[in-house]
A and B are shown apart, each in its own frame.
Chain A
Amino acid sequence: MIEYILGYLHSDVTPGEAGNLFWVTVYVLLVFLGISIGVIFMNWFERKVMAHMQVRIGPMRVGPHGLLQPIADALKLIIKEDLMPSGADKIVFWFAPVCVVMTAFCGFIVVPFGRTHAITDMNIGVLFMLGVSSLGVLGVIMAGWASNSQYPLMGSLRSGAQMVSYEVAMCMSVVSAVMMTSLVTGTGTMSMIGIVQAQEQQHMWFAFSFFPVGLTALGVFAIAMVAETNRAPFDLPEAESELVAGFLTEYSGFRWSLFFLAEYAGMMAVSAIAATLWLGGWLRPFPHLLGGAAWDTAFSLVPGLGFILLGALCLFYTARMPRLRSMRGNLIGLAGFGAFLALLGAFMLLPGVRTRVQDIFWFTIKVGFFMYLYIWYRTTFPRYRFDQLMKIGWKFLLPISIGVVVLTAVIGVRQELLALVWR
């Protein structure tokens, strides 16, 4: 038994590939925990970032600087009354949020946080992720249907149409990235880990290869993924000031929070695809240009130093707080949190830990970059009207992404032929 558990620790494949059920379970729980923490953090982060962009400061009361706000929100949603509209189809009403959450979380099975840090690695990894996220559309339509009300149904149909339209453009740009994996080795792969390894071999993140074609593919994907997850500026189906209520109208309390959880998890999933396909996944910046042991060590210090910096920031803000008796809880809380982050950072500086952690860190940074873009878009842009939204999806993004596929193919074939000739 112990050998079973310990035996995996020295392997260089994911637990799924190794067939080690114990570690698969552990990884599943870790990923689940990670997504949940990510969603909680995103809630706080979004409110704070939006507020600062809007010349205000966001939640400050619940916990120091609003850090406990997501927990308070979650508690409130859990204890709310669970309403179900009369005449609603009870089973479908119950199942719709479950479906959306399941599909959002299932996609994380193949998301690689590192070479061995994934639950498993399918050889159709990307296809699996896209397929599973498409199933989410079903949940959305079920939600609208089960509400037994005209306007949520229309809203959910609109939402579903939008998601389906932008999936086509997304998949086309994914095709172009997958094609680029076959450049050096001659065989392409759809496995997420394989794609990152291909970027490693080609010494180039796919966003920058065949410049600017790769960047265009990333751009198309980045826009389409915003529409796919129903976020601003494509959030007409969810918007408050529009007349047709969104598909979420009849959901309250915990069921609503499930949709909300699924939305953020979906955002993280498509950001993970973008980071893996175009931004090099878990690879640190310039692994070959700035290669060598010294650079490796330097870059591996970054996660630890980053957390220490965050901890120092927390302690700095604690120092700035007024020293009132009523603020005692906040002062202790923030100082404690800062100390925890600093200790975590110090822990990540240890040589044994830092090599293992650095893949996860770089991957998370890249996903976090896309999440920040999401928040930035929401704060800045007005909303598209639905017909304009569909026009963009079909008449603008799709032709561009098809063009990108064609261009990638042409340039790639030319490159291979030239390499053949010169050999």
Chain B
Amino acid sequence: MSDERFRDSKLADSHLRDSRDRDSQAGNPQERDSQFSDSPFYDSFDEVAPGHTFLDSKEVVLNMGPQHPSTHGVLQVVLKLDGEKVNGLECIVGYLHRGIEKIAENRTWAQFGPFVDRLDYTAAVSNSLGYCLGVEKLLAAEVPKRGQYLRVILTELCRLASHQVWLGTHVLDIGAVTPLFYAFRDREMILNIFEKYCGARLTTHAFRIGGCRWDAYPDMAREVLHICDDLGPKIDEYRDLITGNRIWLQRTKGVGYISPEDCIAYAITGPVLRGSGISWDVRKAQPYSSYEDFDFDVPLGKNGDTFDRYLVRLEEMRQSIRIIRQAVEGLPEGPVIAKLPKVLKPPAGEVYHSIEAPKGELGYFMVSDGSQQPYRVRVRPPSFINLQALEKMAVGSLVADVVAIIGTLDIVLGEVDR
């Protein structure tokens, strides 16, 4: 197929390869007809036999190209369809690859901080947290308690914001147009706090290596608590609008099932893993930045389908509110940043540090050679690794479910492609 869209796709190619093999084997058109049961895909249907149209073939290769209205970024999905049923699926990523890991090798440790925000751009603060914690491990630096609590507050606010984006876009893909606006209205409140704190709404560069650059601004505690009070009833609104809606239930229950064993085999983390019933959260398993001081639950799903993942994320939003309240009320006094040398030169060594980002386990594997610039920074991207499971989850379901499954995996292409 000379179609440029399928250039990188193996799935589309395989048909041609098969058909070309068959061409060489089959002698005359009549013999080729009998190979229909193996679903050939030809350059034009006149090649098959005159008079046949696409309505006669069993399978169609459909390209859900890099640009499409499902708002997840530049992701290309090639589907092999039999009518409505998805027989095969292939993801082609790399459209947003910016070489961030390569860039890291040419910047200093502190200069790389802003780049890290651009990975998962809906949750920039948590990316920053992971990176800073990793470098602090390399430096064996200890962040003061107040700085740690402040980081927790901002990171949990960021988790709320990221889940709002997920909620709005996921239900929009399934067809409900209204919760998107409600979710973004709530996200505005959180972004206002970020703006007051660090000047930026989206790519915040909120944290520095060693702690936080700025202390909490004068009214921050009051405003953050106000958000906590406000968002509780709003999450109830979402529950009333969406969770009980029979159309929502029909579109999400049983859709995109993945078993717990498959989750572990695919190295899936985050709400997708918890939706399948495995209770694992980095904040509980390997606490960082004072998370052990806070009392919160890790919501679990039972069935591993889209509906359970939706419930898990909704409940995670409530738990985030709980953590924020505890952190604000328990905010200790003191400095927010550790005293580190101006020129950061971590001793040669390597470290892997991971945090629970809204999308999953976000890890940083950093190799230092003792100089001012990192030798290697590897980002363990939860979206990239979760996206592998798309094939497993979507094959066998209908075309309309593919969009729902992409939404439930909660991927951000900035993180997938880096």
Do A and B touch directly, given a CB cutoff of 8 Å in the complex?
A: yes
Interfacial residues, chain A to chain B (CB-CB below 8 A): 50, 53-56, 150, 232-233, 235-236, 239-244, 378-388
Does residue B248 face the partner (Cβ distance < 8 Å to A)?
A: yes
Interface stretch among B4-12, B62-70, B381-389?
A: B62-70
Q: A56-B181, A242-B399, A243-B64 are in contact. Are A385 and B176 (CB under 8 A)?
A: no
- Min CB gap B248→A, angstroms: 5
- Min CB gap B244→A, angstroms: 12
Chain B residues with CB under 8 Å of A388's CB are: 250-251
Q: A243-B64, A243-B79 are in contact. Are A382 and B171 (CB under 8 A)?
A: yes
Chain B residues with CB under 8 Å of A53's CB are: 178
Q: A56-B181, A242-B403, A244-B399 are in contact. Are A384 and B176 (CB under 8 A)?
A: no
Q: Chain B contact residues: over half helix, strand or loop, or mixed?
A: helix
Number of interface residues of B (CB under 8 A): 34
Whether the Cβ atoms of B241 and A380 lie closer than 8 Å is yes
Chain B residues with CB under 8 Å of A236's CB are: 400
Whether the Cβ atoms of A380 and B178 lie closer than 8 Å is yes
Q: A233-B247, A387-B84, A388-B250 are in contact. Are A382 and B176 (CB under 8 A)?
A: yes
Chain A residues with CB under 8 Å of B84's CB are: 386-387
Whether the Cβ atoms of B178 and A379 lie closer than 8 Å is yes
A240 to B70, CA, bound (A): 8
- Min CB gap A310→B, angstroms: 26
From A241, A242, A244, A384, B251 is in contact (CB under 8 Å) with: A384
Q: A56-B181, A381-B245, A383-B247 are in contact. Are A243 and B174 (CB under 8 A)?
A: no
Some 8 contacts from A to B, beta carbons below 8 A apart, are A54-B178, A241-B70, A243-B62, A379-B178, A380-B241, A382-B174, A386-B400, A388-B250
Whether the Cβ atoms of A241 and B178 lie closer than 8 Å is no
Given contacts A54-B181, A242-B399, A386-B400, 4 further A-B contacts (CB under 8 A): A54-B178, A56-B181, A236-B400, A380-B241
The 4 closest A-B pairs by CB, nearest first: A383-B175, A382-B175, A54-B181, A382-B176
Does residue B16 face the partner (Cβ distance < 8 Å to A)?
A: no
B172 (CB) vs chain A CBs: closest residue: A241
Residues in B381-413 with C-beta less than 8 Å from chain A: 398-403
Chain A residues with CB under 8 Å of B70's CB are: 241
- Min CB gap B416→A, angstroms: 19
Chain A residues with CB under 8 Å of B36's CB are: none
A239 (CB) vs chain B CBs: closest residue: B175
- Min CB gap B327→A, angstroms: 29
From B62, B69, B180, B182, A240 is in contact (CB under 8 Å) with: B69
Q: A241-B70, A388-B250 are in contact. Are A379 and B177 (CB under 8 A)?
A: yes
Q: A241-B70, A242-B400, A388-B250 are in contact. Are A383 and B178 (CB under 8 A)?
A: no
Whether the Cβ atoms of B399 and A55 lie closer than 8 Å is no
Residues in B228-262 with C-beta less than 8 Å from chain A: 241-242, 245, 247-248, 250-251
Does residue B173 face the partner (Cβ distance < 8 Å to A)?
A: yes
Chain A residues with CB under 8 Å of B250's CB are: 384-385, 388
Chain B residues with CB under 8 Å of A385's CB are: 250-251, 398, 400-401
Chain B residues with CB under 8 Å of A239's CB are: 175
- Min CB gap A388→B, angstroms: 5
Whether the Cβ atoms of A382 and B181 lie closer than 8 Å is no
Q: Chain A contact residues: over half helix, strand or loop, or mixed?
A: loop
Chain B residues with CB under 8 Å of A232's CB are: 175
A236 to B250, CA, bound (A): 15
From B182, B251, B401, B402, A382 is in contact (CB under 8 Å) with: B251
Residues in B75-89 with C-beta less than 8 Å from chain A: 79, 84
Chain B residues with CB under 8 Å of A378's CB are: 177
Q: What is the count of residue pairs linking A and B with beta-carbon distances less than 8 angstroms?
A: 80
A56 to B403, CA, bound (A): 27
Does residue B54 face the partner (Cβ distance < 8 Å to A)?
A: yes
A379 (CB) vs chain B CBs: closest residue: B178
Chain A residues with CB under 8 Å of B62's CB are: 243-244
Chain B residues with CB under 8 Å of A54's CB are: 177-178, 180-182
Does residue B196 face the partner (Cβ distance < 8 Å to A)?
A: no
Whether the Cβ atoms of A380 and B176 lie closer than 8 Å is yes
- Min CB gap A395→B, angstroms: 13
Residues in B154-213 with C-beta less than 8 Å from chain A: 171-178, 180-182, 185
A397 to B323, CA, bound (A): 48
Whether the Cβ atoms of A241 and B173 lie closer than 8 Å is yes
Chain B residues with CB under 8 Å of A233's CB are: 175, 247
Chain B residues with CB under 8 Å of A382's CB are: 171, 174-176, 242, 245, 247-248, 251
Q: A56-B181, A382-B174 are in contact. Are A387 and B398 (CB under 8 A)?
A: yes
Chain A residues with CB under 8 Å of B173's CB are: 241
A355 to B176, CA, bound (A): 43
- Min CB gap A383→B, angstroms: 3
A168 to B143, CA, bound (A): 70
A236 to B404, CA, bound (A): 14
Whether the Cβ atoms of A243 and B399 lie closer than 8 Å is yes
A240 (CB) vs chain B CBs: closest residue: B69
Chain B residues with CB under 8 Å of A379's CB are: 177-178
A40 to B181, CA, bound (A): 26
Chain A residues with CB under 8 Å of B172's CB are: 241
B184 (CB) vs chain A CBs: closest residue: A55
A56 to B242, CA, bound (A): 20
A150 to B41, CA, bound (A): 15
A233 to B245, CA, bound (A): 12
- Min CB gap A5→B, angstroms: 50
From A243, A244, A381, A386, B175 is in contact (CB under 8 Å) with: A381
B241 (CB) vs chain A CBs: closest residue: A380
Chain A residues with CB under 8 Å of B175's CB are: 232-233, 235, 239, 241, 381-384
Chain A residues with CB under 8 Å of B399's CB are: 242-244
- Min CB gap A245→B, angstroms: 11
A381 (CB) vs chain B CBs: closest residue: B247
- Min CB gap A386→B, angstroms: 7
- Min CB gap B415→A, angstroms: 22
A357 to B242, CA, bound (A): 43
Chain B residues with CB under 8 Å of A56's CB are: 181
Chain A residues with CB under 8 Å of B64's CB are: 243
Q: A150-B54, A241-B70, A387-B84 are in contact. Are A55 and B176 (CB under 8 A)?
A: no
Chain A residues with CB under 8 Å of B182's CB are: 54-55
Chain A residues with CB under 8 Å of B181's CB are: 54-56
Could you mark each residue 130-154 of chain B with 1 if its beta carbon is under 8 Å from any beta carbon of chain A, else 0?
Answer: 0000000000000000000000000
A242 to B248, CA, bound (A): 16
Chain A residues with CB under 8 Å of B69's CB are: 240-241
